[in-house]
Structure 1
């Protein structure tokens, strides 16, 4: 009998605990210290929440089958962020966020079926981050929702939108006077007006424009006084002719340090770098450059880029012109067609510290390939065709990490030179990879087997 009473008491305590934490039906959601997680549960309606004084950071309702967010959906709970992305929501009531309008900082409604800007967004008094990207909201709907953006314009720091159905730039963005980050994630417009960023030209720090039909870099960029990061990617109609110098002004864009121009149908190194002396990180990933020719040398010499990605650029050798980039420390040559590192491929690259060459058909590295590369600390050769440990690393006394292909490297006593190299420099070289000839991690082989080899004298 006592066991029955104890069980009933435990059940009552559990119910009271759930009520106190504000967790909805335990079959639909799980609660942790800062999270109410109702994501990926095939829900077709917003769960009913019990009133709670517990403060949560995030409510996740993403990756469900919600179609409608009714009034008072979140009344009684205290959350800062609500994620409604990856549903099929087409309707949101005006009072949907009643009860959280003074607390909500982030609202993600991306990847849904909304055809309009929900008026309920305009009731959020302190929203900082709003994502409505990948919803079929066209130009007419943007105009109709002007009052919504006007109401949140003083508090919104980050805004994301974009869909193929957007054929014109939404001028109502001018109400976002506090905006620091703008993500344009799709659009069928071919040009932007000169005043596209009016209203936040002096506040915007980060800009992402991708998957549009733009035919050139917008001249409006030159008005972004304090822009620090520009991601202009996957705009396939750009091409070399679309990289317009007037879009960048050396007297205005003094703070731009990160620039990505991925997958924009480029074939040559962009000449705008001559005018962007503050850029330190550059990615040209996904452009079919084939080769960086002599006409690029002047551009490269004048740049101050420290981190360069030429991933998936159809390169069949290490571009010699890169040796002119005197400030370069990090180089990514992954996913190209490079088959060998020859003796002079890295000449005059003593400043390189990180080299990534993954997913290339690389099967040969000259023993002298890294002559003079005295500062190399990280070398990633994963996904290459190498069968032997490259002797070239003997010329890299600062190397700390080397990542090799899995189950391809021949582990024999011939690797005694590598153990001696590690002993000579007294360093903890971390070797990642597995042997082909024995079931062992390469590092374990070097530690446990090489000392027993007759050609090793420790």
Structure 2
């Protein structure tokens, strides 16, 4: 089946269908434009463009370079859905050639200058399970582009210039479970685009220009486990994920999101990870993550968060990994993390914190408090393994950092804390401490400083002290 038509090119438009060089293959005097079209068709696939000038001169081109479009009138692009794929240099591969280049169940045509897939081009590739057409010059994916590939399960189309996909483009590949469309120019996705993709498990739409998601676009993707929509232009999150009953991971980082509807995550009963960092979110209210009861990892760092509702934790009782770094949390309630009893990893880097209570975090293993405004720290965190307090104005260290007996802390960073006095017995009581960062403080460290540390293996000190301590304590790595 062949579809043919000719489109007159606007000489002032931004043309994305162009070649590396201009190749004129035929020139003839003809009194009618129709005759010029017929001449083009008679030359088969070698005719890609024609120009009908002054109602008499017909020029046939196999390829035209980009600069030749501008300022030229009466240029026509032969748009065709022949069963072939076309390349920027004017060459093509037909159905038999595509079958011949396949490797068992896979076809790789990446980084090859591929610019157009004609309908039915892959019709004979019935056994292919993986198609990689990444890093090419595709701009539009037409209906029937993958007709015949009924066994295909993986499709890679990332790093092209795709701005449009026809609504039924995936109709002929019903077994597809892995789709990569990242790094293209997609602004809008048809609401019915994934109607035939019921087996889809992984979907990557990252690094495009998507501004909104049509209601119901994911309605048939009940097996989908992971969606990546990072680095787009989303501004608001609506309840677009209603039917994703198998979804486990959702990446919405690096968009422009400032509003999250209270029902956005309400039906995601299996979601265990949400990345929504690098956005413009101003607050986390009590219903922001409503329904995400099995959420384990939440990354919301680098936003504009200034307020966190004290009941937000009731919707995420199973949270184990939370990073809210690089937000202005100077006015949040000290007991804001009460209820997160399963939390193991907490990141609060550069949040303007002065006072915070971690007493309810009985399972916490790693705590990052770098670059805050904390002047005093003493918490009952018996399972804590890693504590980063660097960049805080502690000044004096006279009370235990960890009040619980038999602390298992093995990494401690108190560098750049303006420490003028340290009760070293506080540090020696950490019998499992293996790594200590203590440099860039105004305190003077004498030769007996590191006597009595039972497990210490490496220490970060100021560079003038490195060689001295290496000689005194050969079993410890100073740097």
TM-score range, shorter chain: 0.5 to 0.7
Does structure 1 residue 229 correspond to structure 2 residue 265?
no
Q: For residue 455 of structure 1, what is the aligned residue in structure 2?
A: none
Q: Highest CA radius of gyration, 1 or 2?
A: 2
* Aligned partners of 2:386 and 2:411 also within 8 Å: yes
Does structure 1 residue 370 correspond to structure 2 residue 407?
no
Assess, with a 3 A threshold, how the Cα gap between structure 1 residues 370 and 189 changes in structure 2: closer, same or farther.
closer
Assess, with a 3 A threshold, how the Cα gap between structure 1 residues 78 and 385 changes in structure 2: closer, same or farther.
farther
Does structure 1 residue 268 correspond to structure 2 residue 307?
yes
Q: Aligned with 1:282: secondary structure?
A: strand
Q: Tell me how far 1:288 sits from its aligned partner.
A: 0.5
1:102 to 145, 151, 162: 151
1:436 to 463, 466, 470: 463
Q: For residue 337 of structure 2, what is the aligned residue in structure 1?
A: 300
Q: Tell me how far 1:122 sits from its aligned partner.
A: 4.8
1:239 to 260, 266, 282: 282
Q: Tell me how far 1:176 sits from its aligned partner.
A: 1.6
Task: Return 5+ residue gaps in structure 1 as ranges.
Answer: 1-42, 451-458
Q: For residue 254 of structure 1, what is the aligned residue in structure 2?
A: 293
Q: Whole-Å Cα distance in 1 between the matches of residues 297 and 411 of structure 2? A: 22
Q: Tell me how far 1:412 sits from its aligned partner.
A: 9.5
Superposition pairs of residues 173-252 of structure 1, within 5 angstroms: 173-185=218-230, 186-193=232-239, 196-200=240-244, 202-210=245-253, 211-236=255-280, 238-240=281-283, 243-249=284-290, 252=291
Higher helix share: 1
Q: For residue 25 of structure 2, what is the aligned residue in structure 1?
A: none
* Aligned partners of 1:226 and 1:255 also within 8 Å: yes
Does structure 1 residue 115 correspond to structure 2 residue 115?
no
Assess, with a 3 A threshold, how the Cα gap between structure 1 residues 97 and 177 changes in structure 2: closer, same or farther.
same
2:177 to 119, 128, 132: 128
CA offset digits 1:58-101 (Å, max 9, x no partner): 9695xx6956265679989988574726x664245778778987
Q: For residue 402 of structure 1, what is the aligned residue in structure 2?
A: 436
TM-score (ref. length: structure 2): 0.62
Q: Tell me how far 1:273 sits from its aligned partner.
A: 0.7
Q: For residue 366 of structure 2, what is the aligned residue in structure 1?
A: 330
Task: Return 5+ residue gaps in structure 2 as ranges.
Answer: 1-86
Assess, with a 3 A threshold, how the Cα gap between structure 1 residues 437 and 244 changes in structure 2: closer, same or farther.
closer
Q: Aligned with 2:214: secondary structure?
A: coil
Q: For residue 412 of structure 2, what is the aligned residue in structure 1?
A: 379
* Aligned partners of 2:262 and 2:289 also within 8 Å: no
Higher strand share: 2
1:313 to 347, 351, 375: 351
TM-score (ref. length: structure 1): 0.65
CA offset digits 1:168-221 (Å, max 9, x no partner): 53522212221112233334453514xx22332x22222233414442344132
Q: Aligned with 2:266: secondary structure?
A: helix
Q: Whole-Å Cα distance in 2 between the matches of residues 432 and 94 of structure 1? A: 62
* Aligned partners of 2:272 and 2:297 also within 8 Å: yes
Q: Aligned with 1:323: secondary structure?
A: coil
* Aligned partners of 2:287 and 2:315 also within 8 Å: no
Q: Whole-Å Cα distance in 2 between the matches of residues 55 and 404 of structure 1? A: 57
CA offset digits 1:318-343 (Å, max 9, x no partner): x3322343332221113x24475x4x
CA offset digits 1:17-50 (Å, max 9, x no partner): xxxxxxxxxxxxxxxxxxxxxxxxxx98899998
Does structure 1 residue 279 correspond to structure 2 residue 319?
yes
* Aligned partners of 1:435 and 1:441 also within 8 Å: no
